[in-house]
Amino acid sequence: MDKFLKEVFDFGTKNFSMAKLLWALIVFALCVVIIKIIVVILKKALKKGKADNSYIGYIVTVVKIVLYFIAVIIFCDIIGIPISSLLAVLSVAGLALSLSVQDILSNLISGFVILITKPFAGGDFIEIAGKTGRVKTIGFMHTVLLTADNKTIYIPNHEVSVSNIINYSHESSRRVDLTIDVSYDNSAAQVKQSIEKAFSEMGTCIYFEPEPFVGVKSYGNNAITYDIKVWCDNKDYWNVYYRLNELIRKCFDEDGVEMTYDHINVHMVNNSSK
């Protein structure tokens, strides 16, 4: 550090001139213009290459930081600041800074890892560490999710990289799983027939290949629990989920199938001898 300061002082007293400063400013301004042109070309190339919008901002930011750093180095070199000593000082300062901002660097590196591995894309509906929403952007420090009720969640990139990620949008199809509790008074055949009737009323909203499934899951204290599984287009998941629930209730009412709930049956015994 002392050597660098001495060299800068010597530069200031011996080599500095207004002509060098003016030329350095012109070159730096030219570098800024070139950087802006490169950024515009890079954005167009990324969009033309069908890069995900959520990643474009991250890539452009990294490129701009690198290019502006190079421009500053060129500026310092023109006016005579010793570059080798400057880089040595910056490396020492960078090491000290990295120790004090480990979390920030961790988020930066994690953002780069997410960019390379691509576990999700912009617009995907995902779950990270118990938080669900659509991916809005993947930023320098945070991945931003937009929830179904229009809340914005900022999740640090480091937390994203070390968490289990569930991507609900990755596949074109998705299975809807329902469980229904039905009274012991109705036979399994009667229940299945009524649910299959609901399937037929869903029409083309659900897949019939793979075939929809209905089966007895368990026998409870007050009801028999049935598992219902159907496949549909991923984009139709919630429409199928709610519509199928409504149709099952409608068909049960029409066919006399009784849905039940937790209750206690009390039987009165008339004993005439007491």
Long-range own/partner contacts, residues 58-65 (CB < 8 A, 24 or more apart): 58/111, 58/112, 58/115, 58/138, 58/139, 58/140, 59/115, 61/140, 62/112, 63/38, 63/39, 64/35, 64/39
Contact predicate 1/9, CB 8 Å:
no
Distance CA 103, CA 107 (A): 6
Q: What is the CATH number of domain 173-255?
A: 3.30.70.100
Q: Summarize pLDDT for 38-54 with one digit per residue, the tens.
A: 988 888 888 777 666 66
Distance CA 134, CA 136 (A): 6
Q: Summarize pLDDT for 77-104 with one digit per residue, the tens.
A: 777 766 666 566 566 555 555 544 566 7
Helix (H) or strand (E) holding 175, with range, is strand 173-182
**In the chain, ranges of CATH 3.30.70.100 domains:** 173-255
Contact predicate 104/158, CB 8 Å:
no
**In the chain, ranges of CATH 1.10.287.1260 domains:** 2-112
Number of Cβ atoms within 10 Å of the Cβ of 147: 12
Report the CATH fold assignment for 119-167: SH3 type barrels. (2.30.30)
**In the chain, ranges of CATH 2.30.30.60 domains:** 119-167
Q: Summarize pLDDT for 153-206 with one digit per residue, the tens.
A: 999 988 888 889 999 998 999 999 999 999 999 999 999 999 999 999 998 889
Architecture of the domain delimited by 2-112 = Orthogonal Bundle (1.10)
DSSP state, 211? P
- Retrieve residue 48's tokens: 């033309």
